[in-house]
Amino acid sequence: MAMLHELFEHTTDAVFGIDEQRKVRFWNRGCEDLLGVSRQQALGRPCAELLCGEDLQGNTVCGADCPIAKFFDHEVPNEDFDLVLKSAGGRPVVVNVGSYYTSDANPETRENVVVFHSMRRLNCHKLIQRISSSSCFEEQDTKKIHKLSKREYEILRLLPKGTVPKNIAEQLGISSATVRNHLKNIYTKLEVHNRAEAVTYAMHHGVF
């Protein structure tokens, strides 16, 4: 872990680390330069409070119910994603975020970081490419959501709450086996592999 701290301390990217409570435990110089928030101001604060990010479609990503923070742990890798942040002065900053998960966090020391997030600013050319690409596939992606049945859509909306199939079944008055079958159908129709990917996909397409 100490090696990761040393590595991320001297990288040119902005890197911050959070613990299991999503509080910032690491904040390098790159973060200070990118967002105008000092290490002293950042450490110990919830990451959502500092970042308040949105995706390129204007959907809020950072918050108490952040699907990424809730479902992606070191056993479930996720792809890089884009965020629109605001600096301390209110200036919008567009970044690409990557995640690095740790498996040896020590809650008794400063090394209780469970995930590091690196942020790299997107230049205008890359941003235009991302938005253009997003627009080209938006209609196709929306059709995936429309493939869901009313019940499947209802179950999809319950997933960010961390509800297990048994509780979903009780809430909807159906069997756990039926819920599992609906989940399999949801994954197939959205072309995702697991619950975490389904939640992130739905979040980026305005389901929540």
Do 122 and 97 form a contact (C-beta atoms < 8 A)? no
Of 186, 193, 157, 194, the C-alpha closest to 172 is 157
pTM over 0.85: no
Nearest to 1 by CA among 62, 50, 74: 74
Of the candidates 200, 180, 203, which has an alpha carbon nearest to the alpha carbon of residue 192? 200
Q: What pLDDT band is residue 73 in, cutting at 50, 70 and 90?
A: very low
Size of the chain, expressed as the number of residues it contains: 208
Higher pLDDT, 23 or 203: 23
Residue 88: DSSP 8-state: T
Read off the pLDDT of residues 117-157 as tens digits, 9 standing for 90 and up: 889 888 665 555 555 555 545 555 567 788 899 999 999 88
For helices 124-146 and 176-190, the axis angle rounded to 10 degrees is 140
Q: What domains appear along the chain, each with residue ranges and CATH number?
A: 2-122 (3.30.450.20), 137-204 (1.10.10.10)
Digit-coded pLDDT (tens) for 165-193: 888 899 899 999 999 999 999 999 988 88
Confidence of residue 31 (pLDDT cuts 50, 70, 90): very high
Q: Is the dihedral of CA 2, 39, 48, 35 positive or negative?
A: negative
**134 contacts 56 by C-beta, under 8 angstroms:** yes
Among 8-22, 129-143, 188-202, name the one with the lowest average pLDDT: 129-143
CA distance 42 to 46: 8
